[in-house]
């Protein structure tokens, strides 16, 4: 850095730390490898869980979810942050495959390190990786198998693969049914395209003695009837969704007493009573038997509603109210005067669930929104159950939308490694070395699956290579027996989207990191 006059030209501010060339690359390689190795032990059904503890708080998270782990450990290194982004993108786009994606970045960077040590220039490595990635995605397309949204047996198998190894084995079959039923109910097909809005599936959790999963064609609201005179069960629900309070604001302060008899209504003036009664009458006139109100309901109104056998809830959160309106096919209105047959929602049944203090509205016809209720005996279990169900819901959604799945258990990665090696040979020169390194990186997946299940990694990778070399393209590792078997017949199946996204974003991030030859870390003003 010097000018023609020999005076140094300062182009970096004082508070910029510079990590030059090779050192920056080495540092990024190390960061990616560390993260890859951190989450690696959790990969696959026999992967271990991690316990994450935040110092100074009571928060303990036990999980084997890659994105959750990386999110909790708050990485500082700039290269590592890009790797964490890979996990986050993977989670946003597919809802599964986060561990795979991060392990892949680590593996790509490890192979890059070997290539650099062998004297291959980073720009050649990046070029080889780019060629490799395009080829890999092409091969992936040829390995994908088509499926329709109607093939519920296959969808259940996809849900099962996503949940295998999570603490949910006891209710696995039920959980798969629930997930597939939920997605099928909210899937919208127009022409050849099917889409699923994940917001249309609400997951509710409750602590209870037994573990259970249930799909409700309707909603659950965390509240119970306002008045003991209201019915606990209703058949043929006709529900009103009200946004404004059902009260006369001024009288609220003097209406704190609970009205249980007609005499107590005397606390209100005749005129007030008439107004409040008129509010309740509107519901009766419209044949409504369930009232969900986002705000408060004055005691006299509650009384009149109860007297007419109407079930009512007040202070229903806006989100729940919207969801209920959608599930029951109704609309939210401001006040009872706005009621009309169009805005009244219907459901088969209302049931007050006293044990878990919820109101269940179920049996909606063609609901646009459904609810999954999960029960578990501890908060950790409930949380992990919820994550497992959410993962499974997302993978079923992926497959319903894309209509394509792949075979798991390390079979795809072994096939990719084999075919990419063949492809590398057609390129020749130093780029060939780079593509070969890229190809080898994929073997980290079967290798890790073997390692996490306690089998010899070298033996298993060799067995797998051999099987694939003889045309068994679905050969993968049965992590429970250690045998190399046809994963298609084992039913280990995953969305194409999960693998595609993992390969693409892991490769792109690796290339990005490989091309970095200078890192300038500007310290914030507070650190000067």
Give the catalytic positions in this structure.
65, 98-99, 391
Comparing every residue's Cβ against ligand ADP, the nearest one is: 408
Residue 390 in the binding site for ligand ADP (CB under 6 A): no
* 398 binds ligand ADP per the rule CB under 6 A: no
Please, which residue, 45 or 79, has the CB nearer to ligand ADP? 45
Q: Which positions from 149 to 168 touch ligand ADP by CB under 6 A, shown as an x/- string?
A: ------------x--x----
CB 51, min distance to Mg ion, A: 19
Asked whether position 99 contacts ligand ADP by CB under 6 A, the answer is yes
Q: Provide the minimum distance between the beta carbon of 323 and Mg ion in the complex, in angstroms, as a whole number.
A: 27
Should residue 333 be labelled a site residue for ligand ADP when binding is judged by CB under 6 A? no
Least distance to ligand ADP, CB of residue 416, Å: 12
Long-range contacts of 118-127 (CB under 8 A, 24+ apart): 118/433, 120/430, 120/433, 120/434, 121/430, 122/25, 122/514, 122/515, 122/517, 123/515, 124/430, 124/431, 124/434, 125/434, 125/437, 125/514, 126/511, 126/514, 126/515, 127/431, 127/434
Q: Which does 122 bind (CB under 5 to 8 A by kind): ligand ADP, Mg ion, none?
A: none
Which one of 76-84, 97-105, 188-196, 460-468 is the stretch in contact with ligand ADP (CB under 6 A)?
97-105
Q: What angle is formed at CA 287 by the lines to CA 283 and CA 293, rounded to 5 degrees? A: 40
Binding of ligand ADP at residue 66 (CB under 6 A)? yes
Q: How far is CA 429 from CA 132, 328, 527, in A?
A: 14, 65, 48
Tell me the backbone φ, ψ of residue 202, rounded to 5 degrees: -95, 130
Q: Which of 25, 28, 35, 44 binds ligand ADP (CB under 6 A)?
A: 44
**Which of the listed partners (Mg ion, ligand ADP, none) does 361 bind, with a CB threshold of 5 to 8 Å by partner kind?**
none
Identity of the residue, 96 or 113, whose beta carbon is nearer to Mg ion in the bound complex: 96
Q: Which helix (H) or strand (E) holds 356?
A: none
Least distance from ligand ADP to the Cβ atom of residue 495, Å: 10
* Radius of gyration of the chain measured on its C-alpha atoms: 30
User: How far is 99 from 252, CA to CA, in rounded Å?
Assistant: 55
Q: Which is nearer to Mg ion, 96 or 427 (CB)?
A: 96
What distance in Å separates the CA atoms of residue 242 and residue 228, rounded to the nearest whole number? 21
Query: Residue 83 Cβ, how far from ligand ADP at the closest point, in Å?
Result: 14
d(CA 73, CA 53): 9
- Binding flag, residue 494, ligand ADP (CB under 6 A): yes
Specify the residue, 45 or 367, whose C-beta has the smaller distance to ligand ADP.
45
Which residue from 159, 492, 510, 519 is in contact with ligand ADP, where contact means CB under 6 A?
492
Whole-number Å distance between alpha carbons of 194 and 191 = 8
Binding interface with Mg ion (CB under 5 A) = 96
Number of residues that make up the chain: 528
Residue 479 contacts ligand ADP per CB under 6 A: yes
**C-beta closer to ligand ADP: residue 178 or 487:** 487
Q: Which of 214, 239, 204 is nearest to 324 (CA)?
A: 239
How many other C-beta atoms are found inside a 10 Å radius of the C-beta of residue 471? 7
First to last CA, the chain: 23
Show the binding pattern over residues 108-147: x = contacts ligand ADP (CB under 6 A), - = does not: ----------------------------------------
What is the closest distance, in whole angstroms, from the C-beta atom of residue 408 to ligand ADP in the complex? 2
Helix and strand numbers (H, E) in the chain are: 17, 21
Residue 348, C-beta contacts closer than 8 angstroms, at least 6 positions apart: 217, 218, 235, 236, 237, 362, 363, 364, 365
Q: Measured between alpha carbons, how far is 208 from 407 in angstroms, rounded to an integer?
A: 36
Q: How far is the CB of 79 from Mg ion (least distance, A)?
A: 25
Contact 171, 211 (CB under 8 A): yes
97 contributes a contact to ligand ADP by CB under 6 A = yes
Rule CB under 6 A: choose which of 98, 157, 289, 509 binds ligand ADP: 98
Distance of closest approach, residue 478 Cβ to ligand ADP, in angstroms: 6
Task: Name the residue nearer to ligand ADP (CB basis): 31 or 392.
Answer: 392
Q: Is there binding between residue 36 and ligand ADP (CB under 6 A)?
A: no
Residue number, 47 or 245, with CB nearest to ligand ADP? 47
Query: What is the three-class DSSP state of 170?
Result: helix
495 near ligand ADP (CB under 6 A): no
Q: Please count the other Cβ atoms lying within 10 Å of the Cβ belonging to residue 366.
A: 7
Q: Which residues bind ligand ADP (CB under 6 A)?
A: 42-45, 47, 64, 66, 96-100, 161, 164, 408-409, 445, 449, 477-479, 492, 494
């Amino acid at each position: 850095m010097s000018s023609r006059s020999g005076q140094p030209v300062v182009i970096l501010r004082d508070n910029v730390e510079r990590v030059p060339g090779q050192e920056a690359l080495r540092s990024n390689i190390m960061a990616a490898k560390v993260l890859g190795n951190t989450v690696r032990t959790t990969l696959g059904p026999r992967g271990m869980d991690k316990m994450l503890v935040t110092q100074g708080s009571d928060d303990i998270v036990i999980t084997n979810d890659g994105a959750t782990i990386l999110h909790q450990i708050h990485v500082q290194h700039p290269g590592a942050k890009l790797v964490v982004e890979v996990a986050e993108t993977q989670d946003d786009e597919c809802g599964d495959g986060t561990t795979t994606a991060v392990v892949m970045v680590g593996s790509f960077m490890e192979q890059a390190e070997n290539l650099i040590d062998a004297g291959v220039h980073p720009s050649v490595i990046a070029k080889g990786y780019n060629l490799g990635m395009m080829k890999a995605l092409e091969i992936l397309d040829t390995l994908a198998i088509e499926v329709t949204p109607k093939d519920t047996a296959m969808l259940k198998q996809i849900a099962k693969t996503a949940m295998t190894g999570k603490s949910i084995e006891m209710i696995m079959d039920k959980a798969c049914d629930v997930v597939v039923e939920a997605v099928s109910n909210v899937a919208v097909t127009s022409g050849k395209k099917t889409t699923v809005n994940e917001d249309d599936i609400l997951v509710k959790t409750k602590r209870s003695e037994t573990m259970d999963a249930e799909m409700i064609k309707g909603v659950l609201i965390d509240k119970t009837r306002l008045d003991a005179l209201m019915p606990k069960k209703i058949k043929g629900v006709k529900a009103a969704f009200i946004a404004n309070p059902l009260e006369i604001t001024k009288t609220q302060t003097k209406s704190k007493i609970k009205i249980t008899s007609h005499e107590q209504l005397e606390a209100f003036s005749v005129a007030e009573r008439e107004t409040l009664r008129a509010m309740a009458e509107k519901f009766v006139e419209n044949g409504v038997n369930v009232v969900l109100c986002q705000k408060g309901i004055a005691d006299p109104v509650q009384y009149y509603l109860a007297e007419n056998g109407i079930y009512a809830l007040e202070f229903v959160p806006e989100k729940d109210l919207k969801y209920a309106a959608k599930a029951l096919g109704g609309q939210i209105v401001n006040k009872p005067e706005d009621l009309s047959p169009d805005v009244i929602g219907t459901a088969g049944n209302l049931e007050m669930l006293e044990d878990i203090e919820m109101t269940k509205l179920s049996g909606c016809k063609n609901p646009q929104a459904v609810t999954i209720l999960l029960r578990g005996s501890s908060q950790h279990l409930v949380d992990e159950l919820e994550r497992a169900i959410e993962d499974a819901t997302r993978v079923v959604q992926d497959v319903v939308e894309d209509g394509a799945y792949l075979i798991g258990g390390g079979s795809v990665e072994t096939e990719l490694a084999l075919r990419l090696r063949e492809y590398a040979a057609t390129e020749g020169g130093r780029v060939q070395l780079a593509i070969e390194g890229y190809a080898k990186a994929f073997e980290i997946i079967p290798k890790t699956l073997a390692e996490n299940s306690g089998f010899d990694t070298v033996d298993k990778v060799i067995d797998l290579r051999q099987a694939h070399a003889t045309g068994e393209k679905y050969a993968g590792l049965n992590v429970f027996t250690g045998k190399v078997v046809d994963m298609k017949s084992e039913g280990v199946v995953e969305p194409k989207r999960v693998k595609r996204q993992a390969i693409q974003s892991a490769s792109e991030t690796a290339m990005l990191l490989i091309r970095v030859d200078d890192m300038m870390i500007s310290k914030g003003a507070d650190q000067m």
